[in-house]
Every structure is written in C-alpha cells, then in structure tokens.
Chain A
Amino acid sequence: MNAPIRHVAFTIIAVFALLAVSATYLQAVAGPTYRDDPRNARLIAWRTGRERGTIVTSDGTVIARSDPSPEDQQLFQRSYPEEGTYAHTVGFTSVLFGSRGLEKARSSDLVSDRDSNISGVLNSLLGGDPRPRGLQLSLDHELQAKAEELLADQRGAIVALDPTTGAVLAMVSTPGFDPNGLVGAGAAPEGAELQADPDEPLRDRAINGSYPPGSTFKVITAAAALEAGIASPSTTFPDPIELELPGTTSTIRNFDEGVCADGAAVSLETAFIRSCNTTFAQIGMAVGADGLVATAEAFGFNEPIPFDLDVLTSRIPEAATFDTNPPAMAANAIGQRDVVATPLQMALVAAGIANDGEVMAPYVVAGVFRSDGTIESMTEPVVWRRAVSPATASVLRDLMERAVLSGTGRNASVPGIRIAGKTGTAEVSNSPPHAWFIGFGPVELEEGGRAIALAVIVEAGGEFSESATGGSVAAPMASELFQLYLSGS
C-alpha cells in the first residue's frame, strides 16, 4: 500500500532535483550570457542608471551630474549641462557605445560603492560615505569655452596647461559631440552616425591625435644643439636656397622657397625666428641622431605620458635607423617624415621650456571630493622629467619670444604681455598642411602669477586650407587664449 506513495514521492523529489540542476545551469553556467545580453535592462540601468558623482571645473561650473530619474525612482539620469564643451575629457558611459574619458577612467570614484561589493558595505558600516565621489577638474571654464569657440567647425585640438604645475587648463578636440545624446534612450542612431562620421568626432585629438609636428619640432632640434654645445644662438650656418642632402639627390627648401637671410650665412637665432628648414636640417645633422632623439625623449617622446586619461605616445624613430639615412635625419629635424606628436606632447614641450627645463606631469583631475563637499584628496603637482638644463631653457625662451616679437609667430602676441612661441606648418601628403602653434606666457614667470603654456593645431589648414600656415591660423587663436587667461579679457 505504501509502495505507490514512495514512487510518487521519489518522482516529485527527482523533479525538484532536476529543477535545482536547471537553476544551477541558468544562474552559474549560462548566467553571464543572460546578464551581459544587451537587451537586459539591468545592464542599461547598471551602467547608466546608477548615481554617478558630479564633475565640476576649477571655477565650479558643473559639467556632469546625476539627477533622480522622473520615470523610475531607483534610477538616475546622467546629464552634461555644458553639452559638447567637455565631451572628450569627461566622456560618457553608454551601453551601446561603451565608456570613454574620465567617466571610464575614474569610474571607481564616480560610482557609488554602496552596491558593488562586500568591502563597500563594510566601509559604509564603519562610517564611511557610500555615496559616489565627485571630481574637480583643473579645467578653466572660460578658457575651455573660448578654445572651443576658436576652433569652431574646423578639425583640430587645443591643449593649455599651467607650466609650473602641469594642471591642464583647457583641452578641446573638434569636431565634437554632445554626450547627452549618447546616454539616453534612442541613442542608437545618433551614436551610429558619430561612429561613421569620417571626421571622427568621437576621437579626442588632444591626446589621441598623432600629427607631424612640423616646425614646432625645431624647438627640440635647437634644444639638442644647445645642450650638445655645438651651437649658440649666434652660431652661423651656410644659407643656401636649397639644401642638398648628402648621399642622395633629394633636397630641402624653405617654406617660401627663398634663402633664409642673405644667402651666405645665417645665425641659429635668425633661422629660428624665420623658421628656416635649410638651416635646421643642417643643425639636425650636426647634432646627430643620438643627440636629437635623446632630446626629444627628454621632452617625453617614445614614452607614455602619465595622465588621467590614456594618451597616444608621441614617436621619433630610434637613433640607429638614421645612421644610414641622412635625408631622413634632416627631415625629422624639421618635424617631418617619421616624427609624430600629440597636441598634449607639444604643449608639454612649451611648458617644459617655460618651467626652466622641467616638465611637470600633466593632470586634469585636481581633486576628489565626497558627496558632502569635503575634500578626499588633492592632486599634488610632481615633476615628470627634466627636458633641458635651466640655461638651455633660458636661451630657448629668448628665441621663442623673438619668434613672436618679430618672426613667424607675430600673430600670437598680446599687448603688454611677454609671449614666447613657435609656429609650425606641417606638410602632409594629399592634404593641405596642418597649422601648429606652441608657446607660453608670460616669458618670465612671476611668483604667484598666472602662467600658461599651450599647443594649438588646426588640421589641413582649417578654413585657410592650402594657404594656411601656423602663423596665420594657429597663432591668432593662441593670442586670444593668452589674452583671456593672462589679462582676463
């Protein structure tokens, strides 16, 4: 009489065992597949709906915030009140398009640890603040907005920083995008359009754009000559209309196709002010590959820049590759051919010279603050590397000031303020040249006074196209930024 009851009992228990196996499969084996399915709204909520910390500029302008969603009490809505102005630096967190910028790099600060792991829970039980941290950036809102306005719809980038601390004051890449359009529902078409755009609006040209530095690289060539002691500003070089390169039939000419000075001899100083290719190709070959590459590396080439965001490494070939190839050596000495640099790297070159030869480690996150507004940590400025001796830096400052006073960089000048700089007009195949300016002001740093070093690049000549030069396109932008930051107008 009991046997059938036992059979039924065993059968039902076996069914429960099967269900336990099934639950184990669904949750432990197949679970991650379901969890990470892009249609899983949890993922969207988890990535975009959690409260994230506020991001403000150095002057307190809010550039990223989380507000409770009106539709769902448990969710937060991320918004970027300044729209595209800080798009590349701040970045975004999107299910469809991934995470970028500081939203990705500093997400451990920006995301609440209340719901992440056991240590977060323990931390909050021990009296820690479980709410997300906020970030204060070193960016200056006025300067950032001005830089964005200057580049307008041209492709290019501007990086400005404080040479004495490494604090980034402005960092703009154009064309840009509005991150608000990528985080909400219905982001798919807008994001796909941005991804397909041949102008690459999503790329942060300031740190991930790689360009031939053109004549701005003459600063490094001059530095190498000064450091090696083979030339001083007054040292003269032959002044041909066309420099024949040893062992080949190729030649180098000046930008205006003429001689640099009088056709007989030209000093390093004059050649720097007038940005003469023929002279600097000679200087480069006189310095030699070892000296030139070593000086470029002293400024940070061939090495990852320590920064809050991942930066493309600026490159110059190894010295050995130039031994058998003098034309390549000459072309690299004037910033063409193989050498490539990011706008941030070139801004650091200017900053290093302004700061007596020491390059400060750049940073854009000035501090981390708690939800109640108290400061958790502040970024301490640190020296990244010594690029050149103070004496060399002093000579270079003088050369660069003269280039702005009476040379190719005249358009960067600001009345009443001593500005130093160097233009560049980088030749590229199948395209108008890139217009560069790097520089800094004031030339003599004052204790407690403001100081700024910057790099401006406008791709393919911008609105000037084929007729563009660094002096005509990039230098005027630099002038406006110097004026705004140093004299407040």
Chain B
Amino acid sequence: MSRNVELGFLAAAVFLGALGIGMVEFTQGNWLGAQVALTFVTFSLAFGSVHLALRAWAPNATPMVLPIAAFLAAIGFIEVYRIDSELAALQRWSFLAAGAGGALTLWLLRSSGVAVLRTYRYIFLAAAVVLLLLPLFPDSWIVHGATVNGSRLWVRLDLPLGGQELSFQPGELAKVFLTIFLASFLAERADAMATVSRRIGPLKIPEPRHLGPVLVAAFAAFGVLIYQRDLGASLLLFALFITMLYVATGRAFYVGTGLALVVLGGVVAYEMFDHVQTRVIAWVDPFSDFTGAGYQTVQGLFAMGSGSLTGSGIGLGRPDLIPAAATDFVFAAVAEELGLAGSIAVIAAYALLVTVGFGIALRARDRFRKYLAAGLSIVVGIQAALILAGVLRVFPITGITLPFMSYGGSSLLASMVIVALLTRISHEERS
C-alpha cells in the first residue's frame, strides 16, 4: 500500500521534471525533443531503482521520503538544465549513480538491517577521516586533492586507463559516515555523559573526559577550515557534533558550549582568514563592494527580487547572471523563475522532509536507530538551512551544496544514501 502511494507521488515528480525541461526547451525556441525524453528516462531509472529496492528490501517504509527528494531533485534539475545544459547532461549520470547508490545501500542492509552499521563504527570513523584528508594528498599521487575556487575540498582520481580524471568531493560522504559513527558511539555513552557531572559553583558540567568529543569536534571543524578553507563543511560538521551530543544527552550545556565556540571560532576565523572577512562584509553590506566581494550576494538578491511573487516563468529569467547559480545559488535561480511561490514550496519541502526524518527518529525502537535517523535529518536540515540562509542573506555565504537540488554528483550520492538509510530505519520500526 505504502509503495503504491510512493509510486504515484514519484510519477508526479518525474513528470514535473520532464515538463519543466519541456518548458525550458519551449522558451528557447525548441519543441519537445530528446532532452525531455532523456530527463524522463533518467529520473524514472534513478528514482525507480530506489523505489524497486524499497519494494524488495524495505516494503514497510514510509512513502514520504523518496517523493519529496524526487520533487526537490526535479525542481533543482530544471534550473541546472536551464542554466547550463552541459552541466545537466553530466548531472543525469550523477542521478543514475545516486539511484544505484541508494538501491545498493538498501541491498547491503537487506538482511541484517541498519544494526549492522554499529559493528563497523570505527571503520566508518576511519573512512570519514581518510575521506576528509584525501583533498590534502599531493598532486603527484593517483588520488590527489584539487583546489577549486580557493577551497581544497575536491579529490581527483587519475584513472590509469586513458588518463581519465574523476572528481569528487569526499566531504559529502564523510558527513554520512561520521553521522553513523556518532550515532553508534553516543548510543553507548549517552547515559554516562548525561548523568555524571561535577559542580563548579552553580554550573553543572560534564566530566572532562566526556567533554572530549566536543573538543574533538571543534578541532576537526577548525582543521577542515584551516586546511581546506571550507567554511560551509566546517560549520556543518561542528553543528552536527553539537546537535547530536544534545540529542543524546539532553543537556543544554553542550549547545551553550558549542555556540560559544562558534562565536569564538568565528571571531578568530574572521581575524585570521581573508576569505572569511570577505564573506562577512558581503553579508553585512553587499552593496558596499558591489563589483567585488558582494557581487554574488547582490546578484542573488537581484534574481530573487526580480522573481517577485510568481517568478519570471521557467526559462524566462536570467539566473545565468548569478555566479555559481547551478550549485550554491540554485535556490536564487528557483526564486527568480518560480517566484516566492516556488521559494516557499522548496523551503516547505525541506521542512517536510526533515519533519518526516525526525518522525522516524521519534518512533525508532532503539537508541542507535533514533540517533542515526535524527543525525541524518540534522545533516539534511542544517545543510539546507545553512546555504538557504546564505542566499537569503540571513547568514554569511558558506559555500555548500543544497541537498538534492544543486549540481554535483557527490552531494547527490550522499543525499540518496541518506534517503536509503532513513527509509530502511522507517521500515524496521514499522515491521
């Protein structure tokens, strides 16, 4: 029953994507052609394979998660195609790979369920650390880092066959692995961390050894920031650590300490790094440096303002004027062409997805499943909120992808794995 509902909504999302591509084609003077058919086939294959995997290995899972992901992916893909059809052609392959990744995840967990992940938690931790360090590998190695837009957060793999290069952003998968590790680690230690404490005056603080993870989180985030100059990933990782500590212990102390560290770290980073300063200036008063630091922010504001209530219509705006419109600023492109109506729809879809995720966490049977579902929801929610807040000028631009919507294979693969894990947990609590 759930799966048939899911199939119906999925079909709607797939048709939405194909229809959007058709509208872009129409506004560019082309009539319905191969692009529309290709999009339809790609989306059917990518989301269809995850859907079939759910039918086979997680039939009782909630039907809410996959269609919301497909809806966001369709809206995002329409804008990516509209901004750069060559990027969109690559993105189609990413969709197929992400669909396969999601299905593969469900197949791997088919008999023992997510519980098996606990067994390998230190492998996940090690994998996450290696993935985070990969971009620092020197250029002469087969697997080596690459600097893109001043941030060293890419990895290139030089394939021995024909000198082909394969690029990916390992941080995207690392955050999923870290979530698995944290959920498993905290499921064991949470009680001790929550109850044991010592008093300093009126403050009840945890044992110093339990503060360890917080400090590790802070240092890891700072490490990422210093060596990879990646403000977004560093903030996301730190927020994930702190929030999961709170989920596991219920102690506001962690949140307070975390916020204090963010403020402190922010001040230090502002003093130490030019690129952080630039972003803060671009946030406070983007018009003061219109042609320089504030350019991207201002172009985003122009795009969203021009979109107004109902937008210019798909294919009829100028989102191509915004730097990084297909990746970090894809939301501004949606806001321009679909207007406030489209903006609210996208924000609501993320809120709904996160709500469904936390719902799965609340109903899950044991601590590990709860923490894992909550952690994955936190990753999606905070990542989406961080970049949306940057585009909407609620927060400085952090340079991070919008899950499901931005151009980028690594992000899409990680997002689809999250969908697979959430649906699997849902299946387990409903069986």
Chain A residues with CB under 8 Å of chain B are 1-9, 12-13, 15-20, 22-24, 26-28, 30-35, 37, 39-42, 45, 74, 115
Contact = CB atoms under 8 A, between A and B. Distances in A.
B392 interface: yes
Contacts of B362: 2, 5-6
A26 B354 contact: no
B246 interface: yes
Contact of B247 (A5, A19, A28): A5
Contact of B385 (A3, A16, A35, A39): A16
A9 B392 contact: no
Contacts of B298: 39
Contacts of B303: 42
B385 A19 contact: yes
Interface in B270-323: 290, 298, 301-309, 312-313, 316-318, 320-321
A23 B355 contact: no
Contacts of A37: 302, 305
28 contacts: A3-B250, A4-B247, A5-B358, A5-B361, A8-B246, A8-B247, A9-B358, A9-B377, A12-B382, A15-B381, A19-B389, A22-B394, A23-B335, A23-B343, A24-B340, A24-B344, A26-B393, A27-B304, A27-B308, A27-B309, A28-B308, A32-B305, A34-B302, A37-B302, A39-B290, A42-B317, A74-B318, A115-B313
A31 B343 contact: no
A23 B321 CA distance: 20
A40 B304 CA distance: 11
Contacts of A33: 305
A22 B304 CA distance: 11
Say whether chain B's binding surface is mostly helix, strand, loop, or mixed.
helix
Contacts of A1: 367, 370
B71 interface: no
Given A12-B385, A16-B381, 12 more contacts: A4-B246, A6-B362, A9-B358, A12-B358, A13-B351, A16-B351, A19-B347, A23-B392, A35-B306, A37-B302, A42-B318, A74-B320
B388 A40 contact: no
The 9 closest A-B pairs by CB, nearest first: A34-B305, A9-B358, A16-B351, A31-B305, A27-B340, A4-B250, A12-B381, A23-B343, A40-B302
A19 B388 contact: yes
B302 A16 contact: no
Interface residues of B, number: 52
A12 B302 contact: no
Contacts of B238: none
A8 B374 contact: yes
B92 to A, nearest CB: 22
Contacts of A19: 347, 385, 388-389, 392, 394
A4 B305 CA distance: 38
A2 B339 CA distance: 38
B355 to A, nearest CB: 6
B381 A23 contact: no
B316 A115 contact: yes
Contact of A34 (B248, B306, B394): B306
B64 to A, nearest CB: 15
A36 to B, nearest CB: 8
Interface of B: 27, 243, 246-250, 290, 298, 301-309, 312-313, 316-318, 320-321, 335, 339-340, 343-344, 347-348, 350-351, 354-355, 358, 361-362, 367, 370, 374, 377-378, 381-382, 385, 388-389, 392-394
Contacts of A23: 304, 335, 340, 343-344, 347, 392
Contacts of B385: 12, 15-16, 19
Contact of A13 (B249, B306, B354): B354
A239 B333 CA distance: 82
B247 A22 contact: no
Contacts of A34: 301-302, 304-306
Contacts of A16: 347-348, 350-351, 354, 381, 385
A35 B355 CA distance: 34
Contacts of B312: 115
B282 to A, nearest CB: 15
A314 B339 CA distance: 48
Given A5-B370, A8-B246, A33-B305, A27 B321 contact: no
B170 to A, nearest CB: 25
Contacts of B317: 42
A34 B306 CA distance: 7
Interface core residue of B307, B318, B340 (most chain A CB under 10 Å):
B318
B320 to A, nearest CB: 8
A74 B29 CA distance: 11
Given A12-B382, A39-B290, A115-B316, A26 B243 contact: no
Nearest to A37: B302
A34 B294 CA distance: 14
B361 to A, nearest CB: 5
Contacts of A3: 250
A50 B355 CA distance: 44
Contacts of B305: 26-27, 30-35, 37, 40
Contacts of A45: 318
A115 to B, nearest CB: 5
B285 to A, nearest CB: 15
A28 B318 CA distance: 19
Nearest to B319: A42
Nearest to A73: B28
B161 to A, nearest CB: 36
A279 to B, nearest CB: 67
A28 B382 CA distance: 25
